[in-house]
Amino acid sequence: QGGRLHWLEDHCLLEYGTVKIIVIRNKAVGSVFRLIQFLIILYVIGYVCVVRKSYQVKDSVISTVTTKVKGTGFTNISGLGAHVWDVADYNIPPEGESSFFVLTNMIITPNQMQSSCPELPDQSTICMSDSDCTEGSSDVRGNGIQTGLCVNYSETVKTCEVLSWCPLEIDTDLPENPLLAAAENFTVLIKNTVTYPKFNFHKRNILPDVNSSYLKQCEFNRITDPHCPIFRLKDMVAEAEEDFQTMATRGGVLGILIDWSCDLDFPEHYCGPKYSFCRMDNKNPENNVAPGYNFRFAKYYKTTDDVETRTLIKSYGIRFDVIVFGTAGKFNIVPTIVNVGAALTILGLVNAVCDWFLLKCTKRKELYQKHKFDYLDETNLKDGESVSELPVYLLYQINVTKMYHG
């Protein structure tokens, strides 16, 4: 056993093999070599270290958002009368999650009841007699189940009668100006807590240097109040380069993007939220089926006779989606070694390029080839014979062999 260990020590631990180098004093090749080396080191520093920050471990953000809208609006719609709207009325869903909707325009159809009434006139619903209507049929684009009767819709038009919530909603006369125009002055408080679990980093968008009295009266402004988490709806829409009143008429979707990308090698207070705003739906007027954003909901009541009635509201408004994203990085020795090491191995490719240049493009290429290559010809060589220095041919093969020796 001792002998074996000794043998191992002799041949395995004591020896070191290093490649034999031919140093060539050639200004052109030397310059090309240094230039490429320089470029690669520049890339390693520039791309790997500065742009990609490959010396860092990364983590993705985990985020919680709560929102709270404030403000009151006033409408005076014929049939409904004067009405003050507060947050419980116009903020749907009420839960204050990361996506919230502010009602700005609406078509209200009060006092609907389950009964039968003439369908809205339309190519497929206009009828001359009962035979044009089919009892029990229901068009997916219609408003109810046909009773089979043909009744007067107006003095001139007859349509098929349907079982439905009557009277039917007439959704063609949407107010041209948003009823709740005052919504542009509503504000929203966005509370956002983020966590980078790998770094045990927790922070919220209400920064530590902001005090309560400031928060009671501040309002976000990119220049004067960049850390205030209270946003006026109009300002957000304006930052997305839209007009609030135009957008409010037919509705839309606005993204509130909060970017928490951080370099945690810097002190913690450099890591803060960066807000941006953009319209998420398409406002393109051409090819615009069902433009904007709207949905229908109803409030249900019971009359004194225990009959269910409802108020149907086709509500137009702006849906605000709070989208939190970001990646944090922090120095760590493992990815540093891995990435810088991997990048440096590319330096090996430099030699392939320079060898090609040296053996193909220089005047003395034959001389260089002669010194670089020793030929061991199997067909005419015997054991113990000395290496024959064969004449050198400019072979495609040699260059290829060189290419990948790096």
The CA distance from 273 to 374, in Å, is 65
Residues in contact with a second copy, total (CB under 8 A)? 149
Q: Of the candidates 155, 156, 289, 391, which one interacts with a second copy according to CB under 8 A? A: 289
Binding flag, residue 120, a second copy (CB under 8 A): no
38 annotated to a ligand binding site: no
Closest Cα to residue 189, out of 234, 229, 232? 229
> Which residues partner with 100 through β-bridges?
320
In the complex, least distance from residue 133 CB atom to a second copy, rounded to whole angstroms? 15
Footprint of a second copy on 296-315 (CB under 8 A): 296-302, 304, 309-310, 312
Nearer to a second copy, 219 or 243 (CB): 219
Q: Which region among 150-158, 171-179, 266-274, 289-297 touches a second copy (by CB under 8 A)? A: 289-297
Footprint of a second copy on 49-88 (CB under 8 A): 62, 64, 66, 68, 70-74, 81-84, 86-88
In the complex, least distance from residue 331 CB atom to a second copy, rounded to whole angstroms? 16
| DSSP of 262-326 | EETTS-GGG---EEEEEE-S---STT-SS-S-EEEEEEEEE-TTS-EEEEEEEEEEEEEEEEEE-
Footprint of a second copy on 13-32 (CB under 8 A): 13-27, 29-31
68 annotated to a ligand binding site: yes
Beta strand spans in 119-157 (E): 145-152
Query: Under DSSP, is residue 160 helix (H, G, I), strand (E, B) or coil?
Result: strand
The CA distance from 154 to 313, in Å, is 24
> Which residues partner with 57 through β-bridges?
330
61 annotated to a ligand binding site: no
Q: Of the candidates 61, 125, 127, 144, which one interacts with a second copy according to CB under 8 A? A: 144
Phi, psi of 318 (to 5 degrees): -105, 125
Q: Of the candidates 5, 78, 131, 216, which one interacts with a second copy according to CB under 8 A? A: 216
In the complex, least distance from residue 159 CB atom to a second copy, rounded to whole angstroms? 16
The CA distance from 118 to 153, in Å, is 5
Binding flag, residue 223, a second copy (CB under 8 A): no
Binding residues for ATP: 68-70, 187, 294-296, 314
